[in-house]
Chains A and B, each alone.
Chain A
């Protein structure tokens, strides 16, 4: 009887610790992986690992940034090994599904242009490696500053700066290869000198 009670208590304690953070972890995992099922798998794996160390978890002071770092590290260090099969990467759930219920802004032409750019950017983002993609998600999508990320991820600020530099450049390169906006004769996105 005792082991069962002990197990129940352990579950209750663990759930009380992590449940308030699960939705945030899912959203971040979705942005890291680009798909609902992969996001769920990633958070699930994190929970399986953490539950085995639930006593350590109870000692953590600031759990939210600690969990963010754990999820980031799991994604960057381990997720890359997950897809070495002929089938693993062929069916990412498109982000476009998230926009289905969103009211399109402006004219139909503007909405189509915005959707096109969004597709290009997402395609470019998910062509990047995990490290670069994760940093762009945290910094450019979620708006977290580099000093905050350096502290949360326990990485030197200089490392993050150079990583961000490389990530943005790669993204721009990939996007430049695909995006019609960069064509020599297309000036729709070119700013006028008045904007400067």
Chain B
């Protein structure tokens, strides 16, 4: 048995028990012994991985999403019966915050009355769900962030644009948002596809060291209400 043959066998055989010919080769070849040891450690490390804990409320969230998605689809079907011709070109992309069916914390941010509250000064992932009724090619994506915020890797850029595609079903944009203390405004996700535009806006507010009440007051002042 040569080294290549042994390596092929290592990739196939259980390593707990070694066939005599493997044993013999290993006893004579330091390089293969290292490969065998690495393989053994690699598999032991994989087997030792802990069981991932199931997050609280998981079952309710996924079942709730099944009910909601089906009801949404029924509404769309009803509407599309009356718009049969238009349905041929309507690709049915829905945009919303991912995991937004329940209030609470998602990916480091909180939803409060429809406003995404993000901690100031550190990166937060805001998840935007794009539900496509069918695959959509040649989609132009444009993300516009509020003043005082930027996407990780795009400092100083108010807009980030690219072209891509959507798979059928749920597509998730993980927007890595960094906000300065006190920054607030509207985060926009715009799609342009097949001659159509789709825009989703969500209010985003950065929570720094100051109180939420102070932030709300400042936001109101910024938009001319306070």
Which residues in A have some Cβ–Cβ distance to B below 8 Å? Answer: 11, 14-15, 18-19, 22-23, 26-27, 30-31, 36-37, 39-41, 43-45, 47-52, 78, 81-82, 84-88, 90-91, 95, 98-99, 102, 114, 117-118, 121-122, 124-125, 136, 140-141, 143, 161, 164-165, 168-169, 171-172, 175-176, 179, 181-182, 187, 189-191, 193, 196
* B51 beta carbon closer than 8 Å to chain A: yes
Residue among B27, B65, B173 making CB contact with A48, cutoff 8 Å = B65
Q: In the assembled complex, which residues on chain A have CB atoms less than 8 Å from the CB atom of B175?
A: 87
Is the CB–CB distance between A143 and B47 below 8 Å?
yes
Shortest B202–chain A CB gap in Å is 16
Given contacts A47-B65, A87-B176, 6 further A-B contacts (CB under 8 A): A37-B172, A39-B52, A40-B62, A85-B173, A98-B50, A168-B39
Q: Does B156 contact A (CB under 8 A)?
A: no
Q: Which residue of B lies closest to A181 (CB)?
A: B38
Min CB gap B18→A, angstroms: 7
Cβ contacts A to B, 27 pairs, < 8 Å: A15-B63, A19-B59, A22-B63, A23-B59, A26-B54, A27-B54, A31-B49, A40-B99, A43-B62, A48-B170, A81-B167, A82-B172, A85-B141, A87-B151, A87-B174, A90-B174, A98-B53, A99-B50, A102-B50, A118-B49, A140-B46, A161-B12, A168-B39, A179-B38, A182-B38, A189-B41, A196-B27
Chain B proximity of A171: nearest CB distance (Å): 7
Stretch at the interface among B81-89, B157-165, B178-186, B192-200: B157-165
Tally of chain B residues near chain A (CB < 8 A) = 67
Among B35, B38, B46, B165, max chain A CB count under 10 A is at B46
CA distance A173 to B167 in the complex (A): 31
Please, which residue of chain B has its CB at the minimum distance from the CB of A38?
B172
